[in-house]
Amino acid sequence: MTAANRATPHEPATTCRYGTADDFQMDEIFDGIAAALGGMANVMVQLSLRPVAYGVMESKVESGRVDLHPWKRLRTTLTYISVALLGSEKDREIYREAVNQSHRPVHSEPDAPLKYNAFDPKLQLWVAACLYWGIVDLKEKMHGPLDEDTADVFYQYAARLGTTLQMRQEMWPADRAAFEDYWNTNLATKTIDARTRAYFDHIIDLKMLARPLRIFGRLHRFIVGGLLPQHLRDEMGMTWSARDQRRFVELLRTIGTVQDRFPKAARVFPMNVLLVDMRLRHRFGRPLV
């Protein structure tokens, strides 16, 4: 992660107990609440790559669209992350096939000016990189940095965020330094056009939810603004003051302090529950996505 996105330095939040990615225990460091807090900002970074944005906005799979079915989309997205990072190889194979079925119609028309395909491994690499970046960014903001050894092992493990679909293992940057080069180089090129900005504003303000729930739109916009990289805030026309930053840092540190007191199962929730839900859905023949 870049220095600008790190929490104020203090003692590492976790001491490494793992030799390789094969030994890694994701539930030791996973913050379930981070997925809820960081979800929309992370989606925006993903969709700042325009083919990803238009693949989502023009998707023919209406049941998977967040603007039409927000709760279902939230469940399936978080389930993918839980399967990729907490699931077994069998879990990943099962969910890969389910996601593949959903992704098959997601491609541009032959005469479309912007080409995209949900099976494009380069697009999946970008999405996986965004997910990894978001997990570490929030972990550091809430709890302080991982120790270097744990960070290295988790980075190798996190390739599962892409290889659970069609991203090839060799596409994942070789180490954290290589990832930072990839991340900084690619993030700097990302922009948000008017159509995508309107789509984001609709979701940030929770306009796809029932009217009583829209009262949380202001808080949601504050959290999204705090997690976005600065140049994407600028692309969205969001203002962010030094006072906003102080309030945001205090909010995340408070959440992190409270969460540190929870038992492991509560810290990982709802990701552990979603993994069980996926397994039960598969056993009883219910749709996974």
Q: CB within 8 A of 71, min separation 6: which ones? A: none
Q: CB within 8 A of 129, min separation 6: which ones? A: 162, 179, 182, 183, 186
Kindly tell me the sign of the dihedral angle through the C-alpha atoms of 129, 20, 259, 161: positive
Give yes or no for a contact between 143 and 8, defined as CB atoms under 8 angstroms apart. no
Which amino acid, 154? Answer: F
Q: CB within 8 A of 168, min separation 6: which ones? A: 121
Give yes or no for a contact between 274 and 79, defined as CB atoms under 8 angstroms apart. yes
Give the tokens for residue 58.
Answer: 């023009």
Give the burial string for 169-201 (b: 16+ CB within 10 Å, else e): eebbbeebeebeebbeeebeebebeeebeebbe
User: Can you give the residue ranges of every domain in the chain?
Assistant: 26-283
Give yes or no for a contact between 281 and 287, defined as CB atoms under 8 angstroms apart. yes
CA atoms within 13 A on the CB side of 192: 23
Give yes or no for a contact between 70 and 178, defined as CB atoms under 8 angstroms apart. no
Confidence at residue 22, expressed as pLDDT on a 0 to 100 scale = 67
Q: What is the pLDDT along the chain (289 residues), one digit of tens a residue?
A: 443 444 443 444 444 555 566 667 887 888 898 888 899 999 999 999 999 999 999 988 877 688 778 889 899 999 999 999 999 999 999 999 999 999 999 999 988 889 999 999 999 999 999 999 999 999 999 999 999 999 999 999 999 999 999 999 999 999 999 999 999 999 999 999 999 999 999 999 999 999 999 999 999 999 999 999 999 999 999 999 999 999 999 999 999 999 999 999 999 999 999 999 999 999 999 999 9
What one-character-per-residue DSSP string does 217-274 give?
A: HHHHHHHHHHHS-HHHHHHHT----HHHHHHHHHHHHHHHHHHTTS-HHHHHTTHHHH
Confidence at residue 14, expressed as pLDDT on a 0 to 100 scale = 47
- How many angstroms separate the CA atoms of 72 and 68, rounded? 9
Confidence at residue 2, expressed as pLDDT on a 0 to 100 scale = 44
Give yes or no for a contact between 154 and 19, defined as CB atoms under 8 angstroms apart. no
In order of 107, 119, 137, 193, 289, the CA distances from 61 in angstroms are 11, 15, 31, 23, 11
Confidence at residue 11, expressed as pLDDT on a 0 to 100 scale = 46
CA proximity to 162, closest of 102, 111, 89, 96: 96
Predicted TM-score (pTM) of the model is 0.89
- How many angstroms separate the CA atoms of 264 and 237, rounded? 39
**Dihedral, CA atoms, 60, 161, 123, 181, nearest 10 degrees?**
150
CA proximity to 245, closest of 259, 228, 220: 228
